[in-house]
């Protein structure tokens, strides 16, 4: 049990963004910035932010609806759509780097098909029933021919598959019957990143095409302080 607890603690302290070009304070925290039209904020609350989302952020909720607060990583950074964010109140927050997970690169493979399969087996009874009866890819112990589905797909170990008459072999997670019940990939990664590494947010490249210009989102309440000068 002691070993398990120590291992969990190690995972929670994993720093996936140590090589990212981010502004840090003297204690090693990442500094993030937020522009708002609301003055005197002392704590950002994602639920409130989502309820009052502006047009330039509502588009992000189309792909993932979890409430979150958006942050820039550089002073003077602009939105790729509207340029400077309207608002005269400028804030900063400090976040330990191990609390931000780089969702775009997904270094821990939290969006892997095996993770999707595990989620579906835990939350969808009918899927789990089929999963328990299905064969699983096991290339470490079974030598498949080149036409077998377990050979055609890289990193297929553990994936459940079945064979349908006239349709051939198919992975269970690709069964059209369960398509609508697949988890949102961002929600799945957020949940696993928080459970396994203690993450409270994502960090990813802005759509500008510059890999050094990042956006961060945080889905847990976080204290903030006001900048003493202008952000732009």
Taking the C-alpha atoms of residue 61 and residue 10, their distance in angstroms, rounded to an integer, is: 32
Over residues 23-70, the pLDDT tens digits come to 999 999 999 999 999 999 999 999 998 888 776 666 788 899 999 999
Q: Is 60 exceeded by the pLDDT of residue 86?
A: yes
Domain boundaries, the chain: 2-106+199-226, 113-181
Which pTM was predicted?
A: 0.88
Listed residue (204, 221, 222) closest to 213, CA to CA = 204
Taking the C-alpha atoms of residue 22 and residue 137, their distance in angstroms, rounded to an integer, is: 41
Q: Is 50 exceeded by the pLDDT of residue 172?
A: yes
Listed residue (79, 104, 119) closest to 186, CA to CA = 104
């Amino acid at each position: 049990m002691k070993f398990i607890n120590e291992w969990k603690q190690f995972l929670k302290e994993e720093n996936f963004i140590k090589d990212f070009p981010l502004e840090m304070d003297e204690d090693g925290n990442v500094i993030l910035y937020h522009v708002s039209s609301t003055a005197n904020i002392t704590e950002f609350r994602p639920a409130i932010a989502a309820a009052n989302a502006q047009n330039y952020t509502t588009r992000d909720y189309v792909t993932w609806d979890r409430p979150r607060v958006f942050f820039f990583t550089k002073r003077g950074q602009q939105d790729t759509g509207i340029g400077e964010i309207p608002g005269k109140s400028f804030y900063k927050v400090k976040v330990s780097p191990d609390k931000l997970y780089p969702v775009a690169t997904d270094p821990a493979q939290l969006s892997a098909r095996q993770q999707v399969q595990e989620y579906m087996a835990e939350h969808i009874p009918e899927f789990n029933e089929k999963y328990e009866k299905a064969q699983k890819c096991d290339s470490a112990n079974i030598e498949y021919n080149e036409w077998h589905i377990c050979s055609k797909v890289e990193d297929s170990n553990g994936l459940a598959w079945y064979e349908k008459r006239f349709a051939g072999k198919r992975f269970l997670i690709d069964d059209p019957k369960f398509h609508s019940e697949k988890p949102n990939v961002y929600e799945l990664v957020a949940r696993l990143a928080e459970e396994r590494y203690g993450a409270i947010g994502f960090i990813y490249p802005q759509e500008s095409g510059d890999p050094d210009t990042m956006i961060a989102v945080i889905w847990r309440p976080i204290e903030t302080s006001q900048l003493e000068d202008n952000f732009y």
